Amino acid sequence: MKDTSNANCRELLDVLTAQGVHDVVASPGSRNTPLLLGASARQDLRLRMINDERTAGFYALGLAMATQSPVALMCTSGTALYNYAPAVAEAFYQRVPLIVISADRPAQWIDQDDSQTLHQPEALDKIVKKSFDIPPETGMSAPCRNPGYLTEREWFVNRIANEAVLTATGGMPGPVHINIQFGEPLGTTSDYLQCSPRTIRVIRNTSGLPPHLLREICCRLMEKRVMVVAGFMPPDHELNKAILEFANMPNVTLLCETLSNIHTDRCEFMIDSLLCGMSNKQKVDLMPDIVITIGGALVSRMLKEYLRGASTLEHWTLNDTDLSVDALQHLTTHIDIAPAKFFRGAASMMRHLSRKGVRTLYPEYNLAWKDMREDGSGRLRRYVEAAPWSELKGLDIFFRRLDPRVNLFLSNGTCVRYAQLLTERLCHACFSNRGVSGIDGTNATAAGIAAGFKGTTILLTGDVSFAYCPEVLNPKVTDSDLRIVVVNNNGGGIFRFIRTTRDLDERERLFCSPPALPLEKLAEAYGWNYIPVNDEVGMQEAMTRLQSTPRTIVELFADADISAAALISLLAPQSHKI
């Protein structure tokens, strides 16, 4: 049997089949030729052809109602899709899982007087649980970090297909819509090859996992090297306690970003300085088998690239993460249970299994990461002590002398990355605008946090970020205990060390745009205490005054090129200097 040669179509159909879709109702057409060829080639799919799309829609609805299983609907481009609307509406309100797949022309030909072109993406948006749009096969040709996929396109289509079925069948079932764009040629074929695409498993039990399922999960965890990665989230005492219990298991390691607000005294925060000091062999030896992530988007590009590059890896998420999030490109399991409940139950079950004689296959994994962290911390300390006066030197003093009782707000760009390198312990709570990672509202957000906290809030920001909203110095805006440290690096310091811009001849003119911020005069005008810092001793003294005197603003000056060079050298893989 000949298969379609369209890679997007093959991946989509293989995942649908692997996820339990066995019935396809389709109507003839030209643009959906790849879909019809692909469906016909797969023996696990029962393909039924019905000429009229309106009739086909209701036929698929009845089939899904009778089998209580998801049914796929396939149509060509143009008005064909709109003929599905009555049946899809009925499925939406009856909660029947239909998977509508519409073939489409490439987006650039919409509204160009080309045949059978109209707006198909999201055409059924009000009567489906979710809409998806897959660009032509030639799109997204960038290599994929995950070696399991040649390009990011393959990973993207796999993720979309998994999410579509899981959305249609999960929670309250209902229809979903996948619009897939096909460019010419449409009818090319290739030999059918049986494959096993990645499928994502969802375990739904928000009230808690039943003992037999929890035991099954924990037996699997004990056979593997497990890494827990915590991204940004608000402080949560119960989660903090539960995750530390789980992380004490001998085959488990914990990596916490500074913004995770997970309080631990084992240097789990220094992720980037740890990874850049590891050899390739150490990274391979310590690569986890299972990664469980909690919280929001990760700051650490090093960690993401490290885990995405794994040849085999299971990525598990919990119910604080949306099902569509596949940030590590290895998502295999989504467990719909609160993180605190999961880690508490898993830790208890794994201890119970240990007492019953079940032994982990990797009893030294936790200790190996602990030793690596201690080595990395020592290398970092030696490097910073030997470094010249720079942002790195000044901010190392800042983080080491920070009062643990304060709230810390990190602006985006350089400051949040320095925190990832230098934080050995967390203060009371740590925040940043990392949902979208913009810099425009960081001052005002910090002021709002200060207004909601009885103690001291310290804003660590750069000169460009602070220039967006110096009005926070106005006592009418900020009447709470906000104190500020501004790193003045003569413009966007981040552009001097990231690979994209650091070697460009136009870097200073186009990217590192100094805001000419008159900070001393602004402080004087609004009645703030102003402290300029130009060296190590000055920074030490400034930290003492900052934490003892309200309405204080510190401006840290350091040579921009020296600071960038110090950071680049520190982050160089396997740097002999650390």
**536, pLDDT greater than 80:** yes
Contact criterion met (CB below 8 Å) for 222 and 358: yes
Q: Does 380 map to a domain?
A: no
Same domain assignment for residues 145 and 231: no
Give the structural domain span for 393: 387-571
Q: Does 578 map to a domain?
A: no
Where among 310, 336, 368 does a domain terminate? 368
**277, pLDDT greater than 90:** no
Res 317: pLDDT: 97
Instruction: Measure the CA–CA gap between 403 and 413, rounded to whole angstroms.
Output: 23
pTM for the whole thing?
A: 0.89
Same domain assignment for residues 87 and 186: yes
User: What is the mean predicted confidence (pLDDT) over 139-155?
Assistant: 77
* Higher pLDDT among residues 424 and 369, named by residue: 369
Res 576: pLDDT: 39
Q: Does 374 map to a domain?
A: no
Backbone φ and ψ for 381, nearest 5 degrees, come out as -65, -40
Same domain assignment for residues 162 and 268: no
Same domain assignment for residues 251 and 333: yes
Q: Does 577 map to a domain?
A: no
Where among 317, 336, 368 does a domain terminate? 368
Sequence-distant (6+) residues with CB within 8 A of 447 are 472, 477, 478, 480, 482
Res 113: pLDDT: 67
Same domain assignment for residues 353 and 458: no
Q: What is the DSSP string of 341-405?
A: HHHHHHHHHHHHHHHTT---S-TTHHHHHHHHHHHHHHHHHHHHHHSPSSHHHHHHHHHHH--TT
* Higher pLDDT among residues 331 and 578, named by residue: 331
Same domain assignment for residues 155 and 217: no
The CATH number assigned to the domain holding 344 equals 3.40.50.1220
Q: How many domains does the chain have?
A: 3
The CATH number assigned to the domain holding 443 equals 3.40.50.970
Q: Does 379 map to a domain?
A: no
Instruction: Measure the CA–CA gap between 448 and 446, rounded to whole angstroms.
Output: 5
CB atoms within 10 A of CB 481: 17
Same domain assignment for residues 182 and 255: no
Instruction: Measure the CA–CA gap between 420 and 427, rounded to whole angstroms.
Output: 14
Instruction: Measure the CA–CA gap between 39 and 28, rounded to whole angstroms.
Output: 13
Per-residue CA distances from 171 to 47, 90, 93, 181, 394 (Å): 27, 18, 14, 29, 51
Among 122, 125, 117, 130, which Cα is nearest to 182's?
117
Q: Position of tokens 């209902």? A: 174
Contact criterion met (CB below 8 Å) for 271 and 293: no
pLDDT grade for 513, boundaries at 50, 70 and 90: confident
Backbone φ and ψ for 555, nearest 5 degrees, come out as -115, 115
Q: Does 475 map to a domain?
A: yes
Res 402: pLDDT: 95
Where among 191, 216, 243 does a domain terminate? 191
Q: Does 540 map to a domain?
A: yes
Same domain assignment for residues 407 and 360: no
Same domain assignment for residues 541 and 392: yes
Structure tokens at 441: 């509202």
* Higher pLDDT among residues 348 and 137, named by residue: 348
Same domain assignment for residues 353 and 277: yes
Instruction: Measure the CA–CA gap between 244 and 295, rounded to whole angstroms.
Output: 15
Q: Does 349 map to a domain?
A: yes
Same domain assignment for residues 205 and 86: no
pLDDT in tens, 199-255: 999 998 767 788 999 999 999 999 999 999 999 999 999 999 999 999 999 999 999
Same domain assignment for residues 364 and 458: no
